[in-house]
Amino acid sequence: MVEVASQVAERVEATVRANQVSLVLGGDCTIELGVSAGALRGGHIGELGLLYVDGHADLNTPVTSTSGILDSMGVAHMIAEEGTAEELSRVGPRFPLLAEEMIVLFGYNPRELNDAEADALARRRMPRYPLGEIRGRAEAVATEALSEIEGKAERFLVHLDVDVIDFTDCPIADVPQ
């Protein structure tokens, strides 16, 4: 994963330096580590923010995960949550990669949090918009979340995991809940 994140970072850095926009399609949320690292290396002035649109908070660590799947650990590695794999947390030009208050969690399902993730989320200052706040008001809440990140960050990234799309409408995600 460190090698993949580093390769992604190199490509994103090159597009940022060329004043282009990157569109990165991946199959694992840890790809965001490389995207964020590349955006920072590319010379972003000011704070970099992240609008993290995902059905999960991704705050697991290798210590707290029952599956060991890194896909559920991206945000934890970005903010250097205790118990993360240090070589992956340090893939970018600074440590932690992103300040926790610069990551806006949007669309996660609190019922999907394990105890360790719920504890990490309770301790962190990440702005958050759980699924229950979004249902029936998606446009208004999305506008609020965007304002939250635009008010703090000179530039921001958007992470979109397809698991926020209803599986019955678009069965491309392997997470039917």
The pLDDT value recorded for residue 94 is 93
The pLDDT value recorded for residue 173 is 65
Q: Single out the residue of 111, 157, 161 nearest to residue 16, CA to CA.
A: 157
The pLDDT value recorded for residue 19 is 92
The pLDDT value recorded for residue 18 is 95
Per-position pLDDT tens, the chain of length 177: 999 999 999 999 999 999 999 999 888 889 999 999 999 999 766 689 999 999 999 999 999 998 888 989 999 999 999 999 999 999 999 999 999 999 999 999 999 999 999 999 999 999 999 999 999 999 999 999 999 999 899 889 999 988 877 777 777 766 655
Q: How many CB atoms lie within 10 A of CB 177?
A: 10
The pLDDT value recorded for residue 115 is 95
Architecture of the CATH domain 2-164? 3-Layer(aba) Sandwich (3.40)
The pLDDT value recorded for residue 169 is 78
pTM of the model as a whole = 0.92
The pLDDT value recorded for residue 30 is 92
The pLDDT value recorded for residue 175 is 60
The pLDDT value recorded for residue 140 is 97
How do the domains of the chain map onto residue ranges?
2-164
Do the Cβ atoms of 105 and 159 come closer than 8 Å?
no
